[in-house]
Amino acid sequence: MNDENTREKKELVIGNHKVVVHTYVTGRELRDIESAMMNKLEMSQKDGSQEIVGFKGSMLADRQDRQIKAVVVSVDGKSEKIIDLVLELPAVESEQILDYVKEITEPKKEEAGN
């Protein structure tokens, strides 16, 4: 099921830019975001348990890209190359959008239960 057209959205005004964003992510999108991290971890098995022994440097950038793609619908009416649109804004404005994106994609456990 694709709820892209029916999912609740809101408009943020960041600097002189109008940014349309989703108000939540789906479970599938959250799983995709989390897999960006897991796919970059280097794991080792020791004494029957797994432990993280390292991670690839691109892990955080890949995760952030997936977060942006899942939450941001458009910037100034443009929806193509959404990651580039967000990251090419002045850093202060880009960070404001990323703060919202993180708020939506990294819910606190106690909030998720409410």
* DSSP bridge partners of 75: 19, 78
Residue 94, CA atoms < 13 Å, CB-side half-sphere: 12
Domain assignment present for residue 43? The answer is yes
Domain assignment present for residue 2? The answer is no
What the block records as the tokens of 73 is 């619908």
| Structure confidence at residue 86 (pLDDT) | 97
pTM for this predicted structure: 0.76
Tens digit of pLDDT for each residue in 50-97? 665 566 667 778 889 999 999 999 999 999 999 999 999 999 999 999
Number of domains in the chain: 1
Domain assignment present for residue 3? The answer is no
Rounded Cα–Cα distance for residues 58 and 28 (Å): 22
Rounded Cα–Cα distance for residues 69 and 61 (Å): 12
Strands (E), 62-101: 72-75
Alpha-carbon radius of gyration of the chain: 16
Domain that holds residue 77: 9-109
| Structure confidence at residue 34 (pLDDT) | 84
- Can you tell me whether residue 9 is helix, strand or coil? strand
| Structure confidence at residue 1 (pLDDT) | 45
Domain assignment present for residue 114? The answer is no
